[in-house]
């Protein structure tokens, strides 16, 4: 059985740290807590879990802080989490099982990261991160902001999921400008941004409402042609949002088409193209793109996944499109498909009630319903 060091960097995390550590402690051999300046009860909570606590002077560089934490680890493998991350009971048991069975030739293990959830608690925004790495490989953290762990070798993709659970304070406070200010201080010093910096700086500008500047930096990033393909696709999707916010619908639509320079049409882009045509009452074109959203074969990627764009959302939009095109059978079919994903959806129920009233004195097209034909 391997041993695992949990390495974390923290600051003023008393609201969430206990839940985080409790959720993973049974699988961990040692806990390394690197504190960057807490003034609350964070360290006291860490002591409850017999953590090894180190102070680290904050230097506007997340990678340096994380690397310092990694440098203190002594176990075979290192797991990293943020204080507002948790494992469910099921995922904690999976981690213990992995700990017993992990082949010695595995250099790193990627895990799912669920960062937001719908009202039923189902993840609606997910991507993968390399979470567990072999200490002797000496993998390094890179990037002052939105840092990443550069790994290589034999990487195992596990089905273990880490859940990002925002604290009450995080939910109530406006989005912090910390990351944006770090980038702007670096820019003021004349530092040259690499492609990844350009992308994440643009994201920070967008998140803080500076859409014009975000457009400039997304374009600079894409012009380098040196970005990760998932970031390039996301940049185009974010450009769509920025151009719409700036009142430039034609450029927003062009940004969606631009995603196809990098891969097959992604479900999110397909749905937004469908939305554009549906908004113009061009239902035939819209239906094509909505269908593509759940029919296209997207290979497994490490990028962001928003499941609703390939499940219930395009089916609900097809209800309207098919009805407007006179194909009542397909409208009912797609409403039923949406209901398979969202059985308690008020919109699905509303559509069913509408169909019941409409077909009250008419032959129902739902009898012996075949698969829908293609538009």
118-170 tens-digit pLDDT = 888 888 889 999 999 999 999 999 999 999 999 999 999 999 999 999 765 55
234-250 pLDDT per residue, tens:
999 999 999 999 999 99
328-347 pLDDT per residue, tens:
999 999 999 999 999 999 99
Distance of alpha carbon 27 from alpha carbon 229, whole angstroms? 34
**What mean pLDDT do residues 90-96 have?**
98
Question: Which residues lie closer than 8 Å to 286 by C-beta, 6 or more apart?
Answer: 274, 275, 276, 277, 278, 317, 321
Percent of the chain with pLDDT over 70: 94
Instruction: State both tokens at 164.
Output: 């990002």
Question: Which residues lie closer than 8 Å to 173 by C-beta, 6 or more apart?
Answer: none
Burial class (CB in 10 A: 0-12, 13-18, 19+), 171: exposed
DSSP 82: -
DSSP 372: P
Pinpoint the alpha helices (H) of 159-246: 168-172, 178-188, 195-207, 211-224, 229-245
What is the band of 183 on the pLDDT scale with cuts at 50, 70, 90? very high
Global pTM reads 0.87
Computed over every residue of the chain, the mean pLDDT equals 93
The dihedral through the CA atoms of 293, 124, 83, 87 has a sign that is: negative
Distance of alpha carbon 128 from alpha carbon 162, whole angstroms? 10
Instruction: State both tokens at 113.
Output: 């990261």
């Amino acid at each position: 059985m391997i041993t695992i060091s949990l390495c974390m960097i923290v600051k003023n995390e008393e609201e969430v740290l206990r839940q985080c550590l409790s959720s993973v402690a049974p699988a961990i051999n040692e806990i390394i807590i690197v504190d960057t300046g807490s003034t609350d009860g964070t360290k006291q909570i860490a002591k409850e879990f017999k953590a090894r606590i180190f102070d680290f002077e904050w230097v506007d560089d997340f990678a340096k802080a994380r690397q310092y934490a990694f440098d203190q680890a002594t176990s075979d493998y290192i797991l990293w989490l943020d204080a507002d991350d948790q494992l469910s009971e099921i995922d904690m048991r999976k981690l213990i099982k992995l700990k017993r069975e992990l082949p010695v030739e595995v250099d790193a293990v990627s895990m799912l990261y669920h960062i937001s959830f719908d009202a039923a608690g189902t993840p609606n925004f997910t991507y993968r991160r390399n979470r567990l790495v072999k200490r002797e490989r000496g993998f390094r953290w890179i990037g002052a902001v939105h840092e990443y762990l550069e790994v290589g070798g034999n990487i195992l993709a596990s089905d273990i999921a880490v859940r990002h659970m925002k604290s009450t304070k995080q939910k109530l406070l406006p989005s912090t400008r910390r990351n944006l200010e770090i980038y702007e201080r670096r820019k003021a010093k004349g530092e040259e941004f690499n492609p990844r910096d350009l992308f994440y700086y643009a994201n920070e500008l967008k998140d803080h409402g500076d859409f014009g500047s975000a457009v400039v930096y997304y374009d600079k990033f894409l012009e380098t042609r040196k970005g990760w393909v998932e970031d390039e696709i996301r940049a185009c999707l974010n450009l769509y949002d920025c151009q719409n916010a700036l009142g430039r619908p034609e450029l927003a639509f062009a940004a969606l088409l631009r995603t196809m320079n990098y891969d097959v049409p992604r479900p999110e882009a397909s749905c937004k193209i469908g939305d554009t045509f549906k908004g113009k009452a061009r239902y035939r074109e819209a239906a094509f793109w909505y269908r593509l959203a759940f029919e296209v074969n997207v290979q497994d990627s490490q990028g962001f996944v928003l499941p609703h764009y390939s499940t219930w959302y395009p089916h609900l939009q097809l209800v309207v499109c098919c009805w407007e095109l006179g194909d009542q059978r397909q409208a009912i079919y797609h409403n039923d498909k949406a209901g398979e994903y969202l059985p308690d959806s008020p919109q699905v129920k509303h559509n069913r009630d509408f169909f019941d009233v409409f077909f009250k004195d008419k032959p129902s097209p739902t009898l012996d319903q075949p698969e829908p034909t293609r538009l």
